[in-house]
Amino acid sequence: MKYIKFLLTLLLPATMLVACDDDENINGGNATVGFESAEITVKETASTLNVPIVVSGDHNGLITLNVEVTDANGTQVETDKTILLTSGDLRMPADVNTVNAELYLALNTNTEDPNRSFTLRITSAQGAQVSTATCKVNIEEVVDAYDKLLGEWTMVTPEGNFAATLSENVAGQSYTLETNYMGAIPITATVQYSATTGLQLVCGQTVANYQGTDLSFFVFDGEYIYNGNLGAMWNDTYDSIEFETGVLLGFDAGGGQVSYLFAWPTFSMTR
């Protein structure tokens, strides 16, 4: 489980900058303030969320309000750990009719966890009456493996382990694979995705450069080099990817020869 509590220290300076100005007059008009929607849905893979709070009626001065996260329900749904509200004290000056409750989220799991949710609640307001006081946030379970596989990985090779990431290239169709060989040679490759047939590491296109020479992946079984892409498949818990055979990083030197930087007869990815 990955917590995001450490972000609090990064956000404190920004929070301090919005400390209340005692010289600003509290709104005296007949206004109401509340969440724009009483219920919304967010994908479990979302890392941030902005929930609008709106004012209606006479708004001629400052409105202040306090917001809290309550009723956290379900696997890996924890206030101040996997749900972080950047600031619970919000201000709406006379010329501002919408403000967002901003959250950082870490809700993605490798298992199916239905019926998860949490609630944002306006606990108090000054300068307006509270209308829609709560907003229930339903967490949508991602069932497509494409979204489950996004994120940080460890590439396990005969030469050791290397940090890697799979990020969105074409949504639902391909990823960008990024890693760094020996901490010195960045590699950026494309991995094609199919919900039924699995993954294909695209070979034959430039993925790195070493001392001015462009390098590509080749399929390698420990003895022979093949053209075409390298197949792979994930496991049921989306925390392991096994490639059908190995891979070689190099370039076509002509005459049927391939010069290479590394040749791995097997490799995989885990997290």
**Measured distance between the N- and C-terminal CA atoms of the chain, rounded to whole angstroms:** 11
33 vs 52: CA distance, rounded Å:
11
List alpha helices for 47-199, DSSP H: 145-148
Averaged over 27-40, what is the pLDDT?
A: 96
Angle at 65 between CA 107 and CA 3, to 5 degrees: 20
For tokens 């489950």, the residue is 148
Share of the chain above pLDDT 70, in %: 92
What pLDDT is stored for residue 3 in this prediction? Answer: 41
Averaged over 100-106, what is the pLDDT?
A: 97
Cβ contact 109:76 at 8 Å: yes
The fold adopted by the segment(s) 7-140 is Immunoglobulin-like (2.60.40)
247 vs 238: CA distance, rounded Å:
22
Domain ranges in the chain?
A: 7-140, 145-270
pLDDT beyond 90 at 158: yes
- Higher-scoring residue by pLDDT: 6, 38: 38
Structure tokens at 163: 């940090």
What pLDDT is stored for residue 253 in this prediction? Answer: 86
What pLDDT is stored for residue 5 in this prediction? Answer: 40
pTM: 0.56
* 196-214 pLDDT tens trace: 899 999 999 999 999 999 9
* 42-95 pLDDT tens trace: 999 899 999 999 999 999 999 999 999 999 999 999 999 999 999 999 999 998
The fold adopted by the segment(s) 145-270 is Lipocalin (2.40.128)
pLDDT beyond 50 at 226: yes
Read off the pLDDT band of 108 (50, 70, 90).
Answer: confident
239 vs 125: CA distance, rounded Å:
45
Among the listed residues 126, 134, 133, the one whose alpha carbon sits nearest the alpha carbon of residue 29: 126
